[in-house]
C-alpha cells in the first residue's frame, strides 16, 4: 500500500529531515510512527500527502508513483488519502454536518448523496445527534472525531493521523484512538504518529521509530519510552 525506497529530504544543506528512509506498509495495517520532535515524522507524512517532494528516492502509494505525479494530479491523490491533524483544522463557521459535508462538496458530490453519507460517518465516529453543533461548542475529543469523520467520509484506502491526540486529555485521546482502530477494522490502512507512550504500549501494533531522519527501529508490538515532556 505504501512504499518508500531510500527517500531523502533536505530543507537546506545543514538540515537533513529524512535520510535514505525505506519503508513498506501493507494494506489494512495499523502503523504507529514515534520519535522526538524534529525527528522527521511530520516530514514523512508531508511527503505522503505530497505537500513536500523528496530530494531523492522513490515513493509509491496505492499504486501511484509520485515521480510521475504532476502538480495538477495532487488534488486527486489527496482525495484518496484521509488526513487528520493535531489542530483539527475544522471550519469554525460551519457546523459539524457542514464540516464533514465540505469534504464531499469540493469533489462534486450531489446534495442527496451528502445527506445520506454524512450521518452514517458521524455515527461511526460516535457523533450522532451533534450534526448542528458548531466546532467551538464541542470538546477537543469531539472536534478531533469530526475531523476523522471528514477524513474518512470519502472512504480513503489510507488514513494519516498526525498527532491526533496531541491536544487531548487521556480520556478523549482514547476516544479518538478507538475510532481509528474501528476504521482500521473496516479495512483502512492507518498511519498514526504520536508522542503518547501509553497509547503505543497498549495498542500493541507495529511501531516505527524515527531518530534524526533515520528509521532506528521497526518492530511489531514494540514498547516505546518517550523522552522528557512532549506535547
Partner 1 sequence: MSHKLITFWRIIKSGVQNFFRNATLAVAAMAVMIITLSIVLFSVIANATFANTVQQITDRIDVSVYLKDSVTVNQREKLTADIKANKNVKSIKYISKDEALEIYKKQNVSNPDLLAAISQTDNPLPASLSIKPIDPNKLNELKAFLDSKEAKALQSDDTSYSGDRKEAIDKISQATKFFREIGFVGVIVFTFVSMLIIFNTIRMSIFNRRDELTIMRLLGASSWYIRGPFVVETVIYGVVSAVVSLTLCYILFVVSASNFDASSLGLLDIKFSSDYFVHNFWVILGAQISIGVLIGAASSLIATRRYLKFKSLS
Q: Which of 10, 49, 133, 201 binds partner 1 (CB under 8 A)?
A: 49
Asked whether position 66 contacts partner 1 by CB under 8 A, the answer is no
Asked whether position 70 contacts partner 1 by CB under 8 A, the answer is no
CB of 115 to partner 1, least distance (A): 14
Inter-CA distances, 7 with 12, 23, 103, Å: 16, 9, 30
Edge-to-edge order in the sheet of strand 64-65: 15-25, 2-12, 56-61, 64-65
User: DSSP letter string over 144-156?
Assistant: HHHHHHHHHTT--
CB of 103 to partner 1, least distance (A): 5
Asked whether position 65 contacts partner 1 by CB under 8 A, the answer is no
Of the two residues 41 and 205, which places its CB atom closer to partner 1 in the complex? 41
Q: Which of 24, 89, 115, 223 binds partner 1 (CB under 8 A)?
A: 89
Q: Which of 13, 72, 171, 225 binds partner 1 (CB under 8 A)?
A: 72
Express the helix, strand and coil content of the chain in percent, nearest 5 each.
35, 25, 35
Of the two residues 63 and 92, which places its CB atom closer to partner 1 in the complex? 92
Q: How far apart are CA 129 and CA 150, in angstroms?
A: 16
**What contacts 187, CB < 8 A, 6 or more positions away?**
27, 28
**Helices 140-152 and 170-185 sit at what angle, rounded to 10 degrees?**
20
Mask: binding to partner 1, 140-159, rule CB under 8 A, as x and -? Answer: ----------x---------
Q: Which three cell numbers stand for residue 66?
A: 509520485
Of the two residues 88 and 224, which places its CB atom closer to partner 1 in the complex? 88
Q: How far apart are CA 55 and CA 94, in angstroms?
A: 39
Of the two residues 47 and 200, which places its CB atom closer to partner 1 in the complex? 47
Asked whether position 28 contacts partner 1 by CB under 8 A, the answer is no
Of the two residues 61 and 103, which places its CB atom closer to partner 1 in the complex? 103
Stretch that binds partner 1, among 28-36, 56-64, 77-85, 195-203 (CB under 8 A): 77-85
Helix (H/G/I), strand (E/B), else coil: 18? strand
Footprint of partner 1 on 108-137 (CB under 8 A) = 108-110
CA atoms within 13 A on the CB side of 56: 5
Stretch that binds partner 1, among 23-31, 44-52, 187-195, 206-214 (CB under 8 A): 44-52
- Which ranges constitute the DSSP H helices of 82-152? 96-105, 111-124, 140-152
Binding footprint of partner 1 on the chain (CB under 8 A)? 46, 49, 51-52, 72, 75-79, 83, 85, 89, 91, 102-103, 105-110, 150
Amino acid at each position: 500500500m505504501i512504499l518508500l525506497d531510500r527517500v531523502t529530504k533536505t530543507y537546506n544543506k545543514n538540515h537533513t529531515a529524512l535520510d535514505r528512509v525505506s519503508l513498506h506498509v501493507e494494506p489494512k495495517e495499523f502503523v504507529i510512527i514515534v520519535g522526538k520532535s524534529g525527528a522527521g515524522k511530520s516530514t514523512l507524512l508531508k511527503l505522503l500527502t505530497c505537500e513536500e517532494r523528496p530530494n531523492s528516492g522513490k515513493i509509491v502509494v496505492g499504486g501511484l508513483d509520485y515521480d510521475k505525479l504532476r502538480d495538477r494530479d495532487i488534488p486527486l491523490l489527496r482525495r484518496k488519502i484521509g488526513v487528520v491533524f493535531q489542530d483539527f483544522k475544522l471550519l469554525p463557521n460551519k457546523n459539524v454536518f457542514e464540516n464533514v459535508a465540505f469534504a464531499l462538496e469540493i469533489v462534486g458530490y450531489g446534495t442527496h448523496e451528502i445527506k445520506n453519507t454524512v450521518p452514517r460517518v458521524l455515527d461511526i465516529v460516535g457523533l450522532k445527534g451533534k450534526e448542528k453543533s458548531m466546532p467551538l461548542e464541542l470538546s477537543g475529543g469531539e472536534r478531533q472525531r469530526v475531523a476523522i469523520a471528514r477524513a474518512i467520509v470519502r472512504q480513503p484506502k489510507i488514513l494519516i493521523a498526525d498527532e491526533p491526540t496531541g491536544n487531548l486529555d487521556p480520556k478523549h485521546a482514547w476516544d479518538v484512538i478507538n475510532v481509528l482502530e474501528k476504521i482500521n477494522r473496516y479495512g483502512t490502512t492507518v498511519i498514526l504518529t504520536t508522542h503518547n507512550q501509553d497509547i503505543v504500549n497498549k495498542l500493541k501494533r507495529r511501531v516505527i521509530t524515527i531518530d534524526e531522519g533515520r528509521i532506528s527501529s521497526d518492530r511489531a508490538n514494540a514498547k516505546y519510552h518517550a523522552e522528557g515532556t512532549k506535547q
